[in-house]
Amino acid sequence: MTRLDLYQLRSPLGPLLLVCHGERLVALDYDGFGDRLWHLLRARFGEIVPREAAGRPEATGRLEAYFAGDLGAIDEVQVETRGTTFQEEVWAALRRIPAGSTLTYGELAARLGRSGASRAVGRANGQNPVAIVVPCHRVVGARGVLTGYGGGLDRKRWLLAHEAPRTLTLR
135, 72 Cβ separation under 8 angstroms: no
Closest CA to 4 of 23, 19, 25: 19
pLDDT value for 79: 96
Give Cα 62 distance to the centre of its chain: 14
pLDDT value for 156: 95
pLDDT value for 170: 54
To the nearest 10°, report the CA torsion of 121, 89, 42, 24.
Answer: -130
Low-confidence winner among 7-16, 21-30, 51-60, 82-91 (lowest mean pLDDT) = 51-60
pLDDT value for 143: 83
Report the catalytic residues: 136
Region 44-71: mean pLDDT is 90
Range(s) of the chain covered by CATH 1.10.10.10: 85-163
Range(s) of the chain covered by CATH 3.30.160: 2-76
Residue 171: pLDDT band with limits 50, 70, 90: low
DSSP state of 84: -
Provide the residue type at 30 as one letter: Y
Instruction: Write out pLDDT tens, residues 81-121.
Output: 999 999 999 999 999 999 999 999 999 999 999 998 999 99
Residue 80: pLDDT band with limits 50, 70, 90: very high
DSSP labels, the chain: -EEEEEEEE--TTS-EEEEEETTEEEEEEETT-HHHHHHHHHHHHSSEEEEE-SS--HHHHHHHHHHTT-GGGGGG--B-----HHHHHHHHHHHTSPTT--EEHHHHHHHTT-TT-HHHHHHHHHT-SBTTTS-GGGEE-GGG-----TT-HHHHHHHHHHHS-TT----
Q: Rounded CA gap, 104 and 34, in Å?
A: 28
Helical pair 118-126 and 85-95, crossing angle rounded to 10 deg? 80
CATH architecture entry for 85-163: Orthogonal Bundle (1.10)
pLDDT value for 32: 78
Can you name the CATH fold of 2-76? Double Stranded RNA Binding Domain (3.30.160)
